[in-house]
Structure 1
Amino acid sequence: MYRLVRRDLLRMLMQRTRTGAPVAIRELASVAGVSRSTIGHLLTGQRRSVPLDTAHAIAQHIGVELLVLFVPVGRSQTETRTSETPAHASASTSHAAQCIGG
């Protein structure tokens, strides 16, 4: 699943797509293969996440990269966060300090 970053950003980008023309909820829903209510619910905040294929279709039709509008949610993010160990973090800090001259 992919979570919408900000609903106001989606609304703004729908007003001015890559072509400069606005896109209607009905058109975006049709292109993404979802109901109009799905797009409407994203815009109102009643729905926050959509499957990857839907997120990709929305972003592509609007003319932006997927990660401009959506962030992945789910298990893989949690695993990434918990896999960073304190030793790894301190090694990164140490390396940064050496690069800065500290």
Structure 2
Amino acid sequence: MRPQQNDYVLVSPDLLVQLMERTGDGRPVSVRELARVASCSHSKIGHLRTGERETATHDEALAIARRLGVDLLVLWKPIGRTIEAPAESQHLAAVSA
């Protein structure tokens, strides 16, 4: 049974920004390109970068990590028994993903 829609918590918004500036292949990746690869909205990537949002589904987290050229657990922590899901802010909780 999956704990929620959101399976992973971002380790650090700053780390995401740094990895986007210099990916595993040495080139930067844009917010829109990362959103396309992860099959999510570019605003979700923007919110992850600023820390306004901390969570992503397993498929999104895996796609983002692969595009950036890092292992999944370098950038993400799985939500489960030892890591609780963060409370989403009210304005984000009211909007469907």
Output the CA distance in 2 between the equivalents of 1:40 and 1:31: 14
Kindly provide the CA deviation profile for residues 42-87 of structure 1, in whole angstroms up to 9, marking residues without a partner as x: 011111011111000000000000000000113x336xxxxxxxxx
Kindly provide the CA deviation profile for residues 16-55 of structure 1, in whole angstroms up to 9, marking residues without a partner as x: 0011000000000000000000100001111101111100
After TM superposition, the structure 1 = structure 2 runs for residues 13-92 of structure 1, keeping only pairs within 5 Å, are 13-74=19-80, 76-77=81-82
User: Which structure is larger by alpha-carbon Rg, 1 or 2?
Assistant: 1
Counterpart of 2:22 in structure 1: which amino acid? Answer: R
The answer for the alignment partner of 1:86 in structure 2 is none
Counterpart of 2:60 in structure 1: which amino acid? Answer: T
**1:8 aligned counterpart, secondary structure:** helix
Counterpart of 1:10 in structure 2: which amino acid? Answer: L
Sequence identity percentage: 53
**1:39 aligned counterpart, secondary structure:** helix
More helix as a share of residues: 1
Q: How many residues get paired?
A: 77
Counterpart of 1:8 in structure 2: which amino acid? Answer: D
Query: Which segments of 5 or more consecutive residues in structure 2 lack a partner in the other structure?
Result: 1-6, 84-97
Query: Which segments of 5 or more consecutive residues in structure 1 lack a partner in the other structure?
Result: 79-102
Output the CA distance in 2 between the equivalents of 1:29 and 1:71: 19
**1:77 aligned counterpart, secondary structure:** coil
